Structure formats: structure tokens, C-alpha cells
Amino acid sequence: KPYRIAVIAGDGIGKEVVPEGLRVLEMAAKKHGVAVHFDQFDFASWDYYEKHGEMMPEDWKEKIGKHDAIYFGAVGWPAKIPDHISLWGSLIKFRREFDQYVNLRPVRLMPGVPSPLANRKPGDIDFWVVRENTEGEYSSVGGRMFPGTEREFVIQETIMTRTGVDRILKFAFDLAQSRPKKHLTSATKSNGISITMPYWDERVEAMAKAYPKVKWDKYHIDILTANFVLHPDWFDVVVGSNLFGDILSDLGPACTGTIGIAPSGNINPEGNFPSVFEPVHGSAPDIAGQGIANPIGMIWSGAMMLEHLGEKPAAAAIVTAIERTLGERTLRTRDLGGNADTTACGKAVAEMVE
């Protein structure tokens, strides 16, 4: 039975990079005997909003909720529609309604990609950032009192549930245990945030007992960000709350080069709902329509999707093809100093898939 993938291209360069991602996925599926069926959807885009006055149809959950995964380009067209309507009307709904409590991003220095960090070569930087994606600091509990007066004040609460903290830690420990280094780092700030962060630390310690083979440590978020830049080779799996994970999952990929190659997964590990795989970048209105966007973030997201589905050899074949294409330095998009267009780059990666 083929995997059923819902494909949503969205806005801007999403529409340009998704076809290249599909090209490479189809090649990897063919070469590794994986049966995949793609269903394309036009919602979660400005075009759809213009026609229907909303970002998604009423029955969007029935349309895509039974698929094995969602392959997503990018959403957002600020010149036409404010981001809080477009993103909250689509992507954020997926994350919440499909309980995608893991946000997963690799931080990996690829061959042929200049790192902004000095003296680093491929192999030196290779770790994962695991971000809690549903609770923590990003709650809507709080309020504003006495607006506009001298007495004005605002409060916003952090929510950490035992279930919510334990399930993200379990995912991170499982991931660490599956890797050769078996090393987990927890982001904390229990010296300043004196109630929730000590609780987080406590749950890390409790979870660690179930993973005797995993070495673990913790850093306060301030020094941890410094160490991402100074000692990226120290890390293997880094887990953080929603806010800390958000910061780390942008900082990490920034340490390894262009945003155009960074992939991500919004994952519901139990598979009760489909997970979303998407590049880290947005719709890039400044370069949209020119055919010059780097498709590698989208393509690599496809590899993460195959990995999530359990198709490891096909996933690895895509990552290797990306490494070879970047390493040969012949076909590179403008953000990497080349002059290849989106399609040429996508075709080059597809041809490298073994």
C-alpha cells in the first residue's frame, strides 16, 4: 500500500521548491522500491484566500488528516495578507490540531557550504535540535491590566505539564540513544527562572534514569547559545522548551550556512496525526517568481519525511545526494554563490540519488 502524502506548496518560493522536492522524492522512492502517492492541495496560500476569503476549507482536517505525512512549502504573503492571519490560519493550526509536539531540525555542516564559524569543516558540526512545540512559554494565559495608564502591567504565564515535558524529553533521549555519540544536552535557565526551569531539570534527571547509555548534560540558555557558536562540535542532541528551542533551532542552522538548505519536521511521534515536513525558510517574497530559490531545504525535508516513515535507505540516499551536489560545487544557487536556477539544482540532486 503506497504512502499517501498531502502536498501543500503555499506561497511564493514554496511553489518553486516543492516541485523539486517531489522530483527528488520520486527518484528516491523509485530507486528504493518505496511506493508513494502524492495528493496536491491548493489551500494554505494567498491564492486560496483571495478566492475563498479564508486560508483553508472548513473540512481541511478531513482532507489531510488521514495522510501519512504532509509535505509543506511555505506560507505567508505579507504584502496582501497579515502573517497572523495566514500563518495562524494554516501552519499553526496543523501544529496544534495535529499535536505536533516535536519540532526537529538538523544542524549539520554540509560540504561546499561556507560556515560563518571559523575553521570548521563538514563532520565537525552534526547535531539535532529538538524543540517542544505545544506548550511552555508560548501560552496564551495572561493579560494586560490598566492599559494606557501609569498602573499598566502585563503578565504571561509559562505552562509546563508533566505529560508535555516528559514526552518531548522521551523523544530527545530516544534520538540520542539511536546515535553513535549517545549524548543529550538540555537547555535550561533554572538559575533565573526559578519555578518552571527547575521542574524541567527535574524531569530531565528522571527521564535520564531510563536511558543509562545516554550521557547527558545541561547548560543555561545564555552560555549554551555562546557554545553553539564557539564549540558546535560538543553537541549531539539538544533539547529545549518552546522558547529556548525556538532560539536554538534558528541559531543552529545559521551556524551552518544559508537558510536555503535548512529542513525541519513538526512531528507527532505516535502517528495519531500526520507530521509536517517543511523547509525552515518562508515564502521569500523578495526572490519569488524568479526561479532562483535554493530547493535544498525542501529536498532535505523530504529526506526527513522518509526517515519519519521508516524508509531509512531512501532517506539516506537523498541526504547523500545533497552532500554530493553541494560538495561538487558545480550546480549551486545564488545564495551559495553560484548561478544555477531552482530547477537545475533540483535536477542535479535527483540525478545524484542512488
Interface residues toward Mg ion, by CB under 5 A = 246, 250
Give the residue, chosen from 42, 83, 157, 354, that forms a contact with ligand NAI under the rule CB under 6 A.
83
Whether 47 contacts 77, CB under 8 Å? no
Using the structure block, give the residue that is written with the C-alpha cell 552532500.
323
Q: Is 344 an interacting residue with respect to ligand NAI (CB under 6 A)? A: no
For residue 264, the one-letter residue type is S
CA atoms within 13 A on the CB side of 2: 12
Task: Extract the C-alpha cell encoding 131.
Answer: 524543540
- Determine the interface stretch with ligand NAI among 114-122, 163-171, 209-217, 284-292 (rule: CB under 6 A): 284-292
Question: Considering the rule CB under 6 A, would residue 286 count as an interface residue with ligand NAI?
Answer: yes
- CA dist 229 and 259 (Å) reads 16
Q: Is 143 in the site for ligand NAI (CB under 6 A)?
A: no
> Do 159 and 139 contact (CB within 8 A), yes or no?
yes
Distance CA 354, CA 346 (A): 15
How many CB atoms lie under 10 A from the CB of residue 221? 20
Distant-in-sequence, close-in-space partners of 312: CB < 8 Å, separation ≥ 6:
306
DSSP assignment of 280-345, as one string?
A: SS---TTTTTTT----HHHHHHHHHHHHHTT-HHHHHHHHHHHHHHHHH-SS--GGGT----HHHH
**Residue 112 or residue 252: which is nearer to Mg ion going by CB?**
252
95 versus 220: smaller Cβ distance to ligand NAI: 95
Considering only the stretches 29-37, 117-125, 173-181, 289-297, report the one whose residues sit in contact with ligand NAI under the rule CB under 6 A.
289-297
354 CB neighbour count, 10 Å cutoff = 13
Q: Which of residues 24, 29, 91, 107 is near ligand NAI by CB under 6 A?
A: 91
Residue 293 as a binder of ligand NAI (CB under 6 A): the answer is yes
DSSP letter at 260 equals G
Which of 4, 19, 63, 87 lies at the binding interface for ligand NAI (CB under 6 A)?
Answer: 87
Q: Return the one option of Mg ion, ligand NAI, none that residue 238 interacts with (CB less than 5 to 8 A, by type).
A: none
Please tell me whether residue 283 binds ligand NAI under the rule CB under 6 A: yes
Measured from the CB atom, is 188 or 333 closer to ligand NAI? 333
* Closest separation in Å from C-beta 95 to ligand NAI: 10
Q: Are strands 142-145 and 237-240 parallel, antiparallel or unpaired?
A: unpaired
Residue placing its CB nearer to ligand NAI in the complex, 91 or 104? 91
Q: Is position 208 an interface residue for ligand NAI (rule: CB under 6 A)?
A: no
Contact status: 126 vs ligand NAI (CB under 6 A): no
Helix/strand/coil for 37: strand
Choose, by CB under 6 A, the member of 78, 116, 192, 337 that binds ligand NAI: 78
Question: Nearest approach, Cβ of 294 to ligand NAI (angstroms)?
Answer: 3
Residues of this chain that interact with ligand NAI (CB under 6 A) are 13, 74-76, 78, 83, 87, 91, 259-260, 278, 281-287, 293-294, 297, 335
